[in-house]
Amino acid sequence: MSTIQQQIQLELAKGLKNLFQIDVTEIALQETKKEFEGAYTLVVFPYTKQAGKAPAAIATDLGEYLVANCSIVKAYQVVQGFLNISVHDSAWLGLLASVASDNNPFQIESKGEKVLIEYSSPNTNKPLHLGHLRNNFLGFSVAQILAAGGYEVVKTNLVNDRGIHICKSMLAYQLFGNQETPETSGLKGDHLVGKYYVAFDVAYKEEIAALKANGLDEEQAKKQAPILLKAQEMLLKWEQGDEEVMNLWNTMNAWVFAGFEKSYQTMGVSFDKIYRESNTYLLGKQLVDEGLAAGVFFQKPDGSVWINLEAEGLDEKLVLRKDGTSVYITQDMGTAQLKYEDFKANQSVYVVGNEQDYHFEVLFHILKKLNKPFSKGNFHLSYGMVDLPSGKMKSREGTVVDADDLMAEMIQTAKDRTLELGKIDGFTEAESNELFHNLGLGALKYFLLKVEPKKRMLFNPEESIDFQGNTGPFIQYTHARICSILRKGGSISTVSIDSDLAESEQELIYLLGEYKAQIAQAAANFAPSVIANYSYDLAKTFNKFYNELSILSEENEVKRNIRLTLAELTGKTIQHATSLLGIVSPNRM
């Protein structure tokens, strides 16, 4: 929060006390709407009952009080029940000088708390898809924002590397693979394994059709298809440690992990620790045994283990199958304990799609009933599905959009658009390729992060990479423009507070002074959209300032220095804000 806002809030609290005997602990100021004079607006309606006056009269009295008692307030305007407050130019320039001299303008002081972010969470039976992109970008960005917000952050990834779906791709490879490898096929390892997951599904559907033709109904056919029974048998062998099954599992997992790592490098995301469900499900089984002994869980006649959450408004939930094999929630219980033992985090955030809302509600209730220390501070950062305009991309598997393909298309689109605009004069081939990558991924990340996580969204690749409008490339281009101005501008001296300011200069200073508050808000709400929209507002405001006022050709040395300082701080702030979104803002375009 800017010191200007704090000073005005303090004086308003004094004014309410002195004029109307109203005690307030917190006063909310809003940014004044563009069509009115002023920088900040106070809504006075909440005070009418205690003050015993009409809203306009209260606003007038408070406005007069501010002008008389707050040296930074220049004037006021009353619009019905709203008090619009204007600030002296010297106060804005003082704020600019303060931000410019701050050695650490982008870091909020330590909260002394540790937050663990779990994101990505892929399965080792198929490659990453469009939904994983939103997940990874969201998780990585939230981690960056929390770190800037003063938290110690640990980034984790829980890989689902066991279970019936993993056995399906393993079995299909056994049956149809002919010893194919990533090297012999020319496919990334995750794509190769995904190919056999699809092959299993094709064979499974053929067997279901054959069984139905022999008189079985749909449900019976699904349960009795020989290839499914073989996959279930393989899962039991895996849990028993069968050597042949384990060797195949280790081989195929290694292929997938190598493929995932390439995808993560392209995305620009990273993890401090990667957990595997194969290492956590047994720990989950131990918690089930504890819960049975404590009466938290109960066993049905067939041997399966359940929890009754009807009192919590939910229903009964399976935590262990009748054959003793674990389900997802069993593994998540074990992983929660392992993460707590490893890091003792104050809060644990799960970045998972909204189709799992019920799952996490159940998980958090179970952990509370088990009375574990890690039952506190759990939060499900739920996000909506991402759709593409039909016909924009073809999926490798026919059902989902492949993440690698989409990233490659975005980079190619960035290349085509940049070459059309002729923005790479003097670039080497390596510099050009780096620019295309940063623009393509910047467009993709920004488009996915500017929307509130909970909202289902439509991603349009063409729209996202436009150099105008609310896009990543527009913000990146603004940063490059600022860098070009600064390269030509020479050295910048200390800001003088003895000058008048244009409206666009005030608007820019206001936004720069609000950046830490935006970080704090984004951190409190796990909301990269706050930073994304702030970045756009800052870039848009800078372009207005740039179009209205001369910088390099300004003859008044004081004004020229102020404008160069504004450009420099805006560039640094855009660079930092976009880095919180995982976006690289180039110095040249």
Encoded tokens for 565: 């300082």
The owner of tokens 């008389």 is: 68
Residue 157 contacts residue 120 (beta carbons within 8 Å)? yes
What's residue 390's pLDDT?
65
What's residue 3's pLDDT?
82
Phi, psi of 397 (to 5 degrees): -95, -5
Rounded CA separation 277/166 (Å)? 12
The owner of tokens 């280790």 is: 250
Give the end-to-end CA distance of the chain in Å, rounded to a whole number.
33
Comparing CA positions, the residue from 514, 534, 540, 543 lying closest to residue 581 is 534
The per-residue b/e assignment along 559-579, b for 16 or more CB within 10 angstroms, e otherwise, is bbbbbbbbbbbbbbbbbbbbb
Residue 116 contacts residue 345 (beta carbons within 8 Å)? yes
Rounded CA separation 137/579 (Å)? 12
CA 188, 191, 192: angle at the middle one, nearest 5?
85
DSSP-derived secondary structure for 441-500:
HHHHHHHHHSS-TTS-EE--HHHHT-SSSSSHHHHHHHHHHHHHHHHHH----PPPS-S-
DSSP-derived secondary structure for 252-291:
HHHHHHHHHHHHHHHHT---SEEEEGGGTHHHHHHHHHHH
The owner of tokens 């674990």 is: 326
Comparing CA positions, the residue from 118, 129, 106, 141 lying closest to residue 445 is 141
> For the chain, how are helix, strand and coil distributed in percent, rounded to 5?
60, 10, 30
Helix axes 89-101, 557-580, angle to 10 degrees: 60
| Per-residue pLDDT tens digits of the chain, which is 589 residues long | 468 999 999 999 999 999 999 999 889 999 899 899 999 999 999 999 999 999 999 999 999 999 999 999 999 999 988 999 999 999 999 999 998 888 888 999 999 999 999 999 999 999 999 889 999 999 999 999 999 999 999 999 999 998 899 999 999 999 999 999 999 999 999 999 999 999 999 999 999 999 999 999 999 999 999 999 999 999 999 989 999 999 999 999 999 999 999 999 999 999 999 999 888 888 888 999 999 999 999 999 999 999 999 999 999 999 998 888 778 898 899 999 999 999 999 999 999 999 999 999 999 999 999 999 999 899 999 999 888 776 444 444 456 789 999 999 999 999 999 998 887 778 999 999 999 999 999 999 999 999 999 988 888 888 888 888 999 999 999 999 999 999 999 888 888 888 999 999 999 999 999 999 999 999 999 999 999 999 999 999 999 999 999 999 999 999 999 999 999 999 999 999 999 999 999 999 8
User: If DSSP states are collapsed to H, E and C, what string results for 326-367?
Assistant: ECHHHHHHHHHHHHHHHHCCCEEEEEEEHHHHHHHHHHHHHH
H or E segment at 155? strand 152-159
What's residue 463's pLDDT?
84
Rounded CA separation 184/195 (Å)? 14
Q: Fill in the DSSP letter of residue 553.
A: T
Torsion of CA 413, 130, 140, 123, to 10 degrees: -140
Rounded CA separation 199/175 (Å)? 10
Comparing CA positions, the residue from 409, 331, 573 lying closest to residue 475 is 573
Rounded CA separation 440/460 (Å)? 13
Strand-pair category, 114-118 with 82-87: unpaired
CA 49 to chain centre: 42
* Residues, the chain: 589
Residue 207 contacts residue 226 (beta carbons within 8 Å)? yes
The per-residue b/e assignment along 421-446, b for 16 or more CB within 10 angstroms, e otherwise, is eebbeeeeeeeeeebbbbbbbbbbbb
Comparing CA positions, the residue from 153, 380, 154, 403 lying closest to residue 268 is 403
What's residue 274's pLDDT?
96
Rounded CA separation 486/113 (Å)? 38
Which parts of 156-217 fold into alpha helices (H)? 164-176, 182-185, 189-213
Burial grade of 547 (CB within 10 A; 0-12, 13-18, 19 or more): exposed
The per-residue b/e assignment along 268-285, b for 16 or more CB within 10 angstroms, e otherwise, is bbebeeebbbbebbebbb
CB proximity list for 219: less than 8 A, separation 6 or greater: none
Encoded tokens for 491: 């050295």
What's residue 351's pLDDT?
97
Rounded CA separation 432/430 (Å)? 5
